[in-house]
Amino acid sequence: MITPSKAPLIQLRGVHKYYGDYHALRGIDLEIRQGEFFSLLGPSGCGKTTLLRTIAGFEGLSSGILAIDGRDMAAVPANHRPTNMVFQSYAIFPHLSVAQNVGFGLRRESMSRDQKARAVAEALEMVGLGGYGGRAAHALSGGQRQRVALARALILKPKVLLLDEPLSALDKKMRETMQVELIKLQRNVGITFILVTHDQEEALIMSDRIAVMFEGDIEQMADPETLYRRPTSRRVAEFIGKMNLLPGQVAMEGNRIIVDVAGLGRGAVEAEQAPGGVVPGATTVGVRPETLGLLFPGETTSRRLADGVVDEVVYYGDMTYYDVRVPGIERPLTISMKNLIGQPVLDVGTPTQVVWDERSLVVLSR
Residues that bind another protein (CB under 8 A): 56-58, 77-80, 83-85, 87-89, 91, 93-95, 104-105, 107-108, 136-139, 152-153, 156
Which is closer to another protein, CB of 105 or CB of 332?
A: 105
Count Cβ atoms below 10 Å from residue 181 Cβ, excluding itself. Answer: 16
Shortest Cβ 56–another protein spacing (Å):
6
Burial per residue of 314-325, b for 16 or more beta-carbon CB atoms within 10 angstroms, e otherwise: eeeeeebbbbbb
Task: State the Cα angle at 220 between 61 and 271, rounded to 5°.
Answer: 150
CA 297 to chain CA centroid, nearest Å = 39
In sequence order, the β-bridge partners of residue 22 are 19
Q: Using an 8 Å Cβ cutoff, are 338 and 322 in contact? A: no
Shortest Cβ 52–another protein spacing (Å):
12
Task: State the Cα angle at 44 between 38 and 48, rounded to 5°.
Answer: 35
Shortest Cβ 68–another protein spacing (Å):
14
Nearest to 54 by CA among 32, 34, 83, 31: 83
Which is closer to another protein, CB of 103 or CB of 308?
A: 103
Which is closer to another protein, CB of 83 or CB of 207?
A: 83
Length of the chain measured in residues: 366
Which is closer to another protein, CB of 79 or CB of 112?
A: 79
How many angstroms separate the CA atoms of 63 and 66, rounded? 10
Compute CA distances 170 → 47, 176, 179, 238, 301, whole Å.
23, 9, 11, 25, 45
Shortest Cβ 50–another protein spacing (Å):
14
Which is closer to another protein, CB of 145 or CB of 198?
A: 145
Tell me 331's DSSP state: S
Shortest Cβ 81–another protein spacing (Å):
8
Which is closer to another protein, CB of 79 or CB of 300?
A: 79
Which is closer to another protein, CB of 83 or CB of 365?
A: 83
Shortest Cβ 182–another protein spacing (Å):
18
Shortest Cβ 106–another protein spacing (Å):
9
Shortest Cβ 21–another protein spacing (Å):
17
CA 192 to chain CA centroid, nearest Å = 16
Q: What is the DSSP string of 45-69?
A: TSSHHHHHHHHHTSS--SEEEEEET
Shortest Cβ 168–another protein spacing (Å):
14
Which is closer to another protein, CB of 142 or CB of 280?
A: 142
How many angstroms separate the CA atoms of 252 and 270, rounded? 11
Q: Using an 8 Å Cβ cutoff, are 209 and 223 in contact? A: yes
Which is closer to another protein, CB of 47 or CB of 103?
A: 103
Instruction: Quote the strand ranges of 228-341, DSSP E.
Output: 244-253, 256-261, 265-269, 281-287, 293-295, 304-315, 319-325, 333-338
Shortest Cβ 22–another protein spacing (Å):
17
Which is closer to another protein, CB of 153 or CB of 246?
A: 153
Question: Distance between terminal CA atoms of the chain?
Answer: 39
